[in-house]
Amino acid sequence: MKQEWQHKILVFGFMLLLCLPAFRMLIFNKEEVLPGENRKSASFPKFSILYQTNPMASANQYFHDINEYCSDHYGFRSELLTIFRFCKVSLFSVNPFPDKVVQGTNNWYFLGNSYSDVIKESKGITFFSESQLGIIENNINTIDEDCRKRGIKLYIAIAPNKHTVYGQYLPIIKSQHPTKLEQVITRMNYHHLSIIDLKRDFSRYSDKRLFYLHDTHWNAFGSFLGYRTLMDYIVRDSPELKVLSLDDFKLDTITSDRNDLTGMLFLKLTEDKVVMEPKYVCNARQEKHKLSVPDHYTRNKNDYEIRFVNTSRPYKVMIFRDSFCEAMIPFIRDSFGESVFIWSGYERRLIDIEKPDLIICEVVEREIDTFDNIHL
């Protein structure tokens, strides 16, 4: 009899463990920014007929959205993922997310193909079709026309993939076909609208490391070279602008183990990071937010808008940007009279609100597809 009760308690305990995540999901189901993912958890979907001629497709989309919601809100999600990563890496020395993070040679880590097929794109294995290129061409021309009508100068800047700059540390042969970025640059040259490739001068500094070993992003020195390339285009139209030089900074290094790629793998690997300390007095002061955050924004709301005023400089610039612009903010803010950084793709509605003199659309190479899907 005693053994029978032990079995019942064991079964009950096991069932309770299985149900706990579901109970937690039902009780704590509010939207939140997911740790390490830079996005909000999915909201509960509402069923709607998206495809009038194919109700089944609408049902499939709804069930897909339900699955996304449950995946993001599953009880103890963060804790269980941490345990999973720890066991895979520390106990079995196995990469828990091979589709998200790839270890290259010489201690280099790269994003995996789950992010926009970034490896295939950087190697020219996947590329735009003619119809996709046509849509991108029309969208960029429409953005340029928007700006021209308002007397605003437009600059489109593409930050490079780490895979493009340091592809030699990924043992994958590059295709002979042009990459997506190369396709767009060639197509837009016909319209005399330059797509600014921010890695233009990287080859001149092959003796310096321009990206982090264990992170997705370029380091301070790489971002400064990108800033200089961007400003080289801008001062052709506005020569009165001040462009910072390397002589304006003191270069130093710090040691850090906080990196997004190795963080996904539950690894704490240290590396030296470049720090650029300005030798000059910075006159740019940060201002309070003035814009409402749109409902579709999925990141930390404080990141949506960053605003600076520098009374010692001319012109107001609005920058539609992503995470790669983060490291360029200290340089850009010291070159313009007012700078408004918006973590978003191009938003027409903001032009008439802010009335800038210049607009910069900055996007990392792996997200160049966003020009295929702009809500104008």
- Residuewise pLDDT in 10s, the chain (376 residues): 556 777 677 777 777 767 766 666 666 666 555 555 555 566 666 666 544 455 665 666 666 667 666 666 666 666 666 665 666 556 555 565 667 888 899 999 999 888 788 889 899 898 999 999 999 999 999 999 999 999 999 999 999 999 999 999 988 888 889 999 999 999 998 878 889 999 999 999 999 999 999 999 999 999 999 999 999 999 999 999 999 999 999 999 999 888 888 887 778 889 999 999 999 988 899 999 999 888 878 788 888 999 999 998 999 999 999 999 999 999 999 999 999 999 999 999 999 999 999 999 999 999 998 888 776 6
Task: Tally Cβ neighbours within 10 Å of residue 57.
Answer: 12
φ and ψ of 207, to 5 deg: -80, -5
Residue whose token pair is 């002061």 = 285
What CA–CA distances, in Å, run from 71 to 48, 114, 210, 216, 276?
A: 21, 16, 36, 24, 41
Rounded CA separation 355/23 (Å): 50
Grouping H, G, I as helix, E, B as strand and the rest as coil, residue 357 is coil
* CB of 242 closer than 8 Å to CB of 335: yes
Rounded CA separation 27/25 (Å): 6
Task: Tally Cβ neighbours within 10 Å of residue 177.
Answer: 13
**Cα atoms in the 13 Å half-sphere on the side-chain side of 23:** 6
Helix (H) / strand (E) containing 15: helix 2-27
Report field, pTM of the whole predicted structure over 0.85: no
* CB of 84 closer than 8 Å to CB of 100: no
